[in-house]
Structure formats: structure tokens, C-alpha cells
């Protein structure tokens, strides 16, 4: 649970290094020693009593339809962290948590502290993390795994502990290691779930000084929760996932106590966390308010499955079918977009049927990974000429009430949402970007919901972001010149935060788009 080390230039340089060594690479799905594999394990049954049982019962009393789910949007970073604290503090039986990464910063330590306190109450905690970014801190992870009610497993982890061993692993298993688990899932008591775009880290909860993400999760109950548990179990029992205990890392209770003391001290001493309750608490009023705000619908969780040992794609095909079904209107917000000839053809065919397409993504100025923009920008003209209404988020958009959590005031906002609305009836919220990495390498997940109330709520939120005070409208002149138009005027070169970012945008074109 270390700080990120591969954004921007470093991410691009690392990708170039790996690509340069492709000729030396080999690999396939990881095959750990079968003796290290624990027996299959299923999520605990839904807690029969407790705050989260009452939370679900409050919804089903209002919406008694069999198989129904209730969902509420979480567009604000502060409310998204509070929702996770609420579920951790309210859990009485189980917490199943699955994340691409969980940083050891203010937000990560605060949530980890609450999860450990739940474990102290007897709550069974299962945590799956992607193993790539566990570059250091294995001892701390092992210490946390030492808690009698906590078990941690890593997806597609490094085989060695030293940096030299990891470098060798990267050379010999490049293709295997390039498959990363990008899922974000938080299931509490098998009664409540949070899923969507947010990892666990300061920038996802409004606590980073340089920039904060504009993101989206949903909190829900009903049938969608048990589907989330099925997703979690499919990874938990997969050969791609290895228990921390199988790596030969041993920790004592004293080491666990030391790590906990460090967590408590860091949380207590952080001025950024002043907006959040210092201790675990009862959330009865907040749970009741959330239950009353849940919008009913029929939910279907989709994910890229690894339960067989092979990767079976589920999210990309499901989204393609969803967009193909559109009759009138498709509204997309997606942070990282690198299209292909096939996707352009699909989008053009959709518009040829009379379907209106509107899409919001990052501008260069709002990007945290300008390398993506370097490969996205070639698709602006085909998108716009095909009839799409294309928008790019302004870095100075007046959305700080969503992105920044006081006392933090960041320098700019960057888009991280992955969502869509089709025909004001169907909704997608999940982890999948529209780029080659998400399509071909990452393991992704999301939920598709048939719900007019939820679709209208999300569409209203998304349409506000298309207004000229929040985004640039990308247009093509008859000459082919691309322009950007907003309340700041009309530009003939893409908006950027400065000269250095423009230089990065040119340099990153040298790297293939395959791994972004």
C-alpha cells in the first residue's frame, strides 16, 4: 500500500522499457503450487440483523419486487469516502473488498483503520488487491494479514520480493504481468455494495493538493449485492489470486500492533481528514436517508472472469451490446479514450440509425496521464465528422464541490468517471475505460441497470458537465481544423496547463497505444 510511482512521464518510460524487451518475454497464466491453494470459499450469507440488514429491508419494504436492486449515485468525493466509512462502521458479519490499488495515504489509512476496527468487532474481512503495485511494504501487508479476522490475497503478484527479482519476473512474464485487476468493489454484510470508478487514495476522495478526480460510484442494495459477492468469490478462488500467507511472509502480533499504531497516529495527525469523524460511529440517520434515496431497477453485474484460469471477457461485449441496442440517445462519460477503426465504425453505424451520441472525456489540460491524450487526439476528427457531439472537461470547471474535500483546495480537476446512459433507461457505471488497456489487458467490471429513474438522474448529472462553463465543445471546421469552444472563447489548439504538458503530448506519441 505504497504511494503511486508511475504516472505521467514515469509511466510512459516504464512502458517503453517493457516494450523494448518484448523479444525476451514469455509467459502464460500464473500457476501457483496447488499445495498453496486454499479450498474454495464463498461469501458469508447476508447478515440477518444489524444496521445493513435494516438498510436493505427499508428498500425492499418500499420496492418489494423480486430481484430488484436499489442504487444511488455517489458523484461527490467526500460523500464517496463517507459511504465507505458508513459501510465499514456498520458491518456486523463480513466485508469483501476488491481494489486495483489502495494507497497508504490519508484516505487509504483512514479507511483501513475503520476496516481493522470492524475486524476487531468480529467482522470477517477479505481483501483482494492487484499485486503489481505492491513494490514495497510487503511486511506491512503481512502484518495486516496477521489479524485473525483479516485475509489478504493478491492478484497476479510478483514472484520475488527484491527489485532485482521483480525486474527478472517482468522480463520473463511480461504478457502475464500485463494483465491487471482493475476492479473496484466494496461489499458489506452481503447487504450493501459500492462499485464504480474509484480506487482508494487521496485523489479519489478530494484529499490531494495537486489535483483531484471527478469520479462516480454507486451505492446499492438488493440483488446487485449478491451479484457483487459472486464476482468477488470468482476472483477469491481463482488461480490468479494468491494468499499473502503463501509468500512465506511471517508477522507477529507485535508487528501487527506496530502497524496499527502507525496507522492510528497518521490518521490522528492528518489535517486533511478534519472533515471526517475521528472514530467509528453509528450511521443510523445516514443509512436511513440513503435507503430512502435508492432508485429501483433491475441490475446486472458484468465482469471479466478468471474463475476458469483463463480470461473470459464480459464487460466489453456487454457494453457493445448495450450501445448496439440504442434507439435514440447514448450519453457517455469516460476518462481515458483511445478508439480504434472498429469502434469508430460501430459509433458511426449507431449514428446512421438516427441515434444521438454525446461523449465527454478529458482534455489535455485536465489529464493526469497525458500519454493517453497523445493517442486519443487522432480520433477527435473521425468522431466529430461522424456526427458525435464531443466534449472535453475543463481543468477549471466549477466542480470543486464534488472534487475537493475541505480543507483541501487542489490546482485542477481531472475526469476519472466511466459511465453511460442509453435511451434514458439503461445505465452503466463501472471501471472500464475506452482504451486498449481496458479492452485487452485489464480485468474490468461494472453494473448495467434497467432503471428510468436512475438513468434520468445520471443523465441530468452528465448533461450539466457538457455545459460550456464545464467543458470544451470539440468541433471540426469545413477545412478540417479542430476547434475547442467554451465560455472562455474558441481555441484552435488543444487547451493545456502549460508548455511542458504540450511537449509531453508530443513525446508520448512515440510509445505504442497498446498499453495505455
List the chain pLDDT tens, one digit each, 516 residues: 544 333 343 343 333 333 333 323 333 445 455 556 789 999 999 999 999 999 999 999 999 999 999 999 999 999 999 999 999 999 999 999 999 999 999 999 999 999 999 999 999 999 999 987 664 567 889 999 999 999 999 999 877 665 666 666 666 676 777 889 999 999 999 999 999 999 999 999 999 999 999 999 999 999 999 999 999 999 999 999 999 988 877 889 999 999 999 999 999 999 999 999 989 999 999 999 999 999 999 999 999 999 999 999 999 999 999 999 999 999 999 999 999 998 898 888 898 899 999 999 999 999 999 999 999 999 999 999 999 999 999 999 999 999 999 999 999 999 999 999 999 999 999 999 999 999 999 999 999 999 999 999 999 999 999 999 999 999 999 998 999 999 999 999 999 999 999 999 999 888 776 656
Q: Is 237 exposed, middle or buried (0-12, 13-18, 19+ CB in 10 A)?
A: middle
Burial 407-420 (b: 16+ CB within 10 A, else e): ebebebbbbbbbbb
Q: What is the pLDDT of residue 10?
A: 38
Is the CB of residue 359 less than 8 Å from the CB of residue 332? yes
Q: Which three cell numbers stand for residue 253?
A: 502480533
How many other CB atoms are there within 10 angstroms of residue 3's CB atom?
Answer: 14
Can you name the residues that pair with 449 across neighbouring β-strands?
299, 427
337: which residues sit within 8 A by CB, 6+ positions away?
359, 361, 372, 376, 379, 433, 434, 435
Strands 217-222 and 69-74: antiparallel
How many other CB atoms are there within 10 angstroms of residue 168's CB atom?
Answer: 14
Q: What is the pLDDT of residue 224?
A: 98
- N-to-C CA span, the chain: 23
Q: What is the pLDDT of residue 178?
A: 82
Q: What is the pLDDT of residue 278?
A: 87
Q: Which three cell numbers stand for residue 35?
A: 499445495
Is the CB of residue 220 less than 8 Å from the CB of residue 185? no
Which three-class secondary structure state does DSSP give residue 283?
A: coil
C-alpha span between 187 and 230 (Å, rounded): 11
Which residue matches cell numbers 449507431? 350
Nearest to 380 by CA among 484, 232, 242, 258: 484
Q: Is 477 exposed, middle or buried (0-12, 13-18, 19+ CB in 10 A)?
A: exposed
Task: Go through the chain and tell me how many residues it has.
Answer: 516
Distance of CA 391 to the CA centre of its chain: 22
Q: What is the pLDDT of residue 250?
A: 81
How many other CB atoms are there within 10 angstroms of residue 200's CB atom?
Answer: 26
CA distances from 401 to 105, 212, 275, 410, 430 (A): 21, 11, 13, 11, 22
Q: What is the pLDDT of residue 14?
A: 39
Can you name the residues that pair with 97 across neighbouring β-strands?
127, 186
Nearest to 376 by CA among 339, 345, 342: 339
Is the CB of residue 210 less than 8 Å from the CB of residue 73? no
170: which residues sit within 8 A by CB, 6+ positions away?
18, 177
Q: What is the pLDDT of residue 512?
A: 74
Amino acid at each position: 500500500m505504497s504511494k503511486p510511482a508511475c504516472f505521467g512521464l514515469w509511466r510512459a518510460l516504464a512502458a517503453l522499457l517493457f516494450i523494448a524487451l518484448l523479444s525476451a518475454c514469455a509467459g502464460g497464466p500464473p500457476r501457483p503450487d496447488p499445495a498453496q491453494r486454499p479450498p474454495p470459499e464463498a461469501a458469508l450469507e447476508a447478515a440477518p440483523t444489524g444496521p445493513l440488514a435494516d438498510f436493505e429491508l427499508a428498500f425492499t419494504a418500499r420496492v418489494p419486487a423480486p430481484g430488484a436492486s436499489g442504487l444511488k449515485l455517489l458523484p461527490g468525493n467526500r460523500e464517496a469516502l463517507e459511504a465507505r466509512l458508513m459501510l465499514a462502521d456498520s458491518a456486523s458479519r463480513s466485508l469483501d473488498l476488491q481494489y486495483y490499488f489502495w494507497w497508504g495515504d490519508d484516505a487509504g489509512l483512514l479507511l483501513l483503520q475503520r476496516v481493522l476496527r470492524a475486524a476487531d468487532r468480529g467482522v470477517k474481512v477479505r481483501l483482494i488487491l492487484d499485486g503489481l503495485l505492491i513494490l514495497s511494504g510487503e511486511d506491512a501487508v503481512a502484518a495486516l494479514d496477521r489479524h485473525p479476522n483479516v485475509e489478504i490475497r493478491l492478484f497476479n503478484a510478483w514472484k520475488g520480493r527484491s527489485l532485482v527479482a521483480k525486474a527478472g519476473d517482468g522480463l520473463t512474464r511480461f504478457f502475464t504481468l500485463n494483465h491487471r485487476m482493475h476492479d473496484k468493489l466494496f461489499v458489506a454484510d452481503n447487504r450493501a455494495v459500492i462499485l464504480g470508478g474509484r480506487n482508494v487514495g487521496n485523489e479519489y476522495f478530494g484529499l490531494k493538493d495537486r489535483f483531484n478526480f471527478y469520479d462516480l460510484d454507486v451505492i446499492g442494495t438488493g440483488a446487485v449485492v449478491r451479484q457483487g459477492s459472486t464476482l468477488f468469490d470468482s476472483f477469491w478462488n481463482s488461480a490468479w489470486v494468491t494468499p499473502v500467507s503463501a509468500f512465506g511472509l511471517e508477522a507477529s502480533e507485535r508487528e501487527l500492533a506496530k502497524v496499527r499504531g502507525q496507522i492510528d497516529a497518521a490518521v490522528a495527525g492528518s489535517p486533511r481528514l478534519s472533515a471526517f469523524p475521528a472514530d467509528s460511529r453509528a450511521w443510523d440517520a445516514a443509512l436511513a436517508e440513503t435507503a430512502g434515496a435508492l432508485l429501483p431497477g433491475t441490475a446486472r453485474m458484468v465482469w471479466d472472469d478468471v474463475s476458469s484460469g483463463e480470461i473470459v471477457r464480459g464487460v466489453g461485449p456487454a457494453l457493445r451490446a448495450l450501445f448496439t441496442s440504442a434507439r435514440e440517445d447514448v450519453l457517455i462519460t469516460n476518462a481515458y479514450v483511445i478508439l480504434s477503426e472498429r469502434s469508430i465504425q460501430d459509433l458511426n453505424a449507431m449514428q446512421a440509425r438516427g441515434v444521438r451520441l454525446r461523449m465527454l472525456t478529458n482534455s489535455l489540460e485536465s489529464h493526469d496521464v497525458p500519454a493517453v491524450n497523445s493517442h486519443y487526439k487522432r480520433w477527435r476528427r473521425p468522431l466529430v465528422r461522424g456526427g458525435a457531439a464531443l466534449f472535453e472537461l475543463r481543468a477549471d470547471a466549477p466542480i470543486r464541490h464534488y472534487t475537493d474535500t475541505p480543507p483541501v483546495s487542489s490546482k485542477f480537476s481531472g475526469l476519472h468517471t466511466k459511465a453511460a446512459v442509453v435511451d434514458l433507461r439503461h445505465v452503466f457505471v463501472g471501471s472500464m475505460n475506452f482504451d486498449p488497456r481496458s479492452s485487452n489487458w485489464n480485468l474490468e467490471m461494472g453494473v448495467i441497470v434497467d432503471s428510468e429513474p436512475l438513468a434520468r438522474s445520471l443523465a441530468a448529472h452528465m448533461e450539466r458537465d457538457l455545459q460550456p462553463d464545464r467543458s470544451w465543445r470539440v468541433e471540426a471546421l469545413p477545412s478540417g481544423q479542430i476547434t475547442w469552444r467554451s465560455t472562455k472563447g474558441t481555441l484552435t489548439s488543444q487547451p493545456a496547463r502549460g508548455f511542458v504538458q504540450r511537449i509531453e503530448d508530443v513525446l508520448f506519441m512515440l510509445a505504442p497505444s497498446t498499453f495505455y
